[in-house]
């Protein structure tokens, strides 16, 4: 993320100075793609992607396990196809290079697709045991800021007018 910020700031600085860098937008786009793929894999490891945890957490036993595993199978299948397609893209791009930096092969930039796909698959596989665990009912801890009804008050602690 820091390298993306540095590239963009340097590119904008050079543009403001009247000496635009021809490569900075292409490199910034590639860095953004890398950040996105690797960040998605990290989020998968922490099970932080959009989902329906409230619905799944209300399920118990076999229904819960089947639901979780069905979702995992779909996710793993998608990223398996993505990884396969990413490898195919690398073979198609063979001898091409970046437009603005001809010394860098295109496969270097596009390698994020299969690498990110594999990382996502590994992250999902590592986090499946956590997903299958039944949720533990948490007892709400008393907070010093929580107002609880008092037995001594006739209205049960209701202070509304």
Q: What is the pLDDT of residues 31-47, one digit of tens each?
A: 999 999 999 999 999 98
Q: Are 131 and 45 in contact (CB under 8 A)?
A: no
Which H helix or E strand runs over 6? Answer: helix 2-16
| Higher local confidence (pLDDT), 116 or 149 | 116
Closest CA relative to residue 85, chosen from 61, 113, 43? 113
Which of the residue ranges 25-29, 43-47, 112-116, 139-143 has the most confident prediction, judged by mean pLDDT?
Answer: 112-116
pLDDT recorded at residue 150 = 56
pTM of the model: 0.73
Q: How confident is the model at residue 66 (pLDDT cuts 50, 70, 90)?
A: very high
Q: Backbone phi, then psi, for 141, in 5-degree steps?
A: -80, 140
pLDDT recorded at residue 119 = 96
């Amino acid at each position: 993320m820091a390298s993306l910020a540095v590239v963009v700031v340097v590119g904008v600085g050079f543009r403001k100075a009247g000496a635009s860098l021809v490569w900075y937008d292409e490199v910034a786009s590639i860095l953004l793609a890398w950040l996105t793929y690797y960040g998605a894999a990290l989020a998968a490891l922490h099970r932080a992607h959009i989902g329906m945890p409230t619905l799944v957490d209300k399920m118990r036993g076999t229904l819960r396990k089947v639901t979780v595993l069905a979702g995992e199978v779909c996710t793993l299948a998608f990223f398996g196809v993505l990884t396969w397609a990413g490898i195919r893209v690398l073979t198609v791009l063979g001898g091409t290079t970046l437009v603005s930096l001809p010394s860098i092969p295109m496969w270097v930039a596009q390698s994020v697709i299969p690498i990110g796909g594999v990382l996502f698959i590994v992250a999902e596989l590592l986090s499946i045991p956590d997903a299958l665990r039944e949720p533990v009912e948490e007892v709400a801890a008393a907070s010093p800021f929580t107002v609880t009804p008092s037995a001594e008050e006739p209205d049960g602690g209701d202070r509304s007018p």
